[in-house]
């Protein structure tokens, strides 16, 4: 495997990876489908939680990394708490909105402070640790790549919050999914394009 391919896999993996999206995305689909079939919030919650647990057990049996599966289970439990507390299916998506707000804010503040999150996460994985801080071009690249994620997180909120307020659970669930996988892959792809155009500092110095 070429160095470019290795770096690409590291980048995608660090950003969540395909398995992470599956483990967090499929339970949300089950929740939406089950709610439409039964019109019962608790039944939909149990369906989403059951699938989330099955995925975690499957990862464990295959000796895959279960970090994302555990995160998926915890995510469903938190979403279930909000939906069960109010009995409103749209409240299942409150934690997702808050998560996007949290991540978006952290990425934004870190960029403005000159400590882009992608540099902190990917620097060590790409073999340059934090030496990129001393290279203006490399630092600017990480800041540019991090703006992609700031845009993604806040665009999700801008589109989905008004739908949440309207109470349309089907539209909210559909838009949540549409802005989940597709936006993630788009953001990851453009992040990779930005990063691959600038070799890590360690390779520049060799």
Cβ neighbours of residue 15 under 8 Å, at least 6 residues apart?
184, 187, 188, 191
Question: What's the pLDDT at 13?
Answer: 62
Quick: pLDDT tens for 20-76: 667 677 888 899 999 999 989 999 999 999 998 888 888 788 777 666 667 778 888
Sign, CA dihedral 167-168-173-178, equals: negative
94-124 b/e (C-beta count within 10 Å ≥ 16 → b): bbbbeebeebbeebbebbeeebbbbbbebbe
Question: What's the pLDDT at 14?
Answer: 62
Domain that holds residue 144: 3-205
| pTM score of the predicted model | 0.83
Quick: pLDDT tens for 139-196: 999 999 999 999 999 999 999 999 999 999 999 999 998 898 888 888 988 988 898 8
| Nearest Cα to Cα of residue 22 among 56, 60, 47 | 56
Residues in the chain: 206
- Into how many domains does the chain fold? 1
**Helix axis angle, 67-86 to 17-38, nearest 10°:** 30
């Amino acid at each position: 495997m070429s160095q470019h391919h290795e770096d690409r896999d590291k980048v995608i993996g660090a950003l969540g990876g395909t398995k992470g999206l599956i483990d967090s995305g499929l339970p949300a689909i089950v929740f939406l489908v089950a709610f439409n079939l039964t019109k019962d919030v608790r039944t939909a919650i149990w369906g989403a939680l059951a699938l989330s647990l099955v995925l975690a057990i499957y990862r464990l049996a295959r000796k895959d990394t279960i970090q994302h599966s555990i995160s998926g289970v915890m995510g469903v439990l938190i979403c279930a708490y909000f939906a069960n507390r109010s009995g409103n299916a749209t409240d299942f998506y409150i934690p997702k909105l808050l998560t996007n707000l949290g991540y978006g804010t952290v990425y934004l503040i870190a960029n403005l402070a000159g400590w882009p999150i992608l540099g902190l996460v990917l620097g060590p994985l790409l073999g340059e640790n934090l030496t990129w801080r001393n290279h203006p071009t490399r630092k600017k690249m990480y800041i540019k790549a991090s703006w992609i994620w700031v845009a993604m997180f806040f665009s999700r909120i801008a589109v989905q919050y008004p739908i949440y307020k309207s109470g349309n659970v089907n539209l909210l669930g559909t838009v949540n999914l549409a802005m989940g996988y597709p936006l993630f892959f788009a953001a990851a792809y453009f992040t990779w394009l930005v990063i691959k155009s600038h070799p890590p500092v360690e390779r520049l110095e060799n």
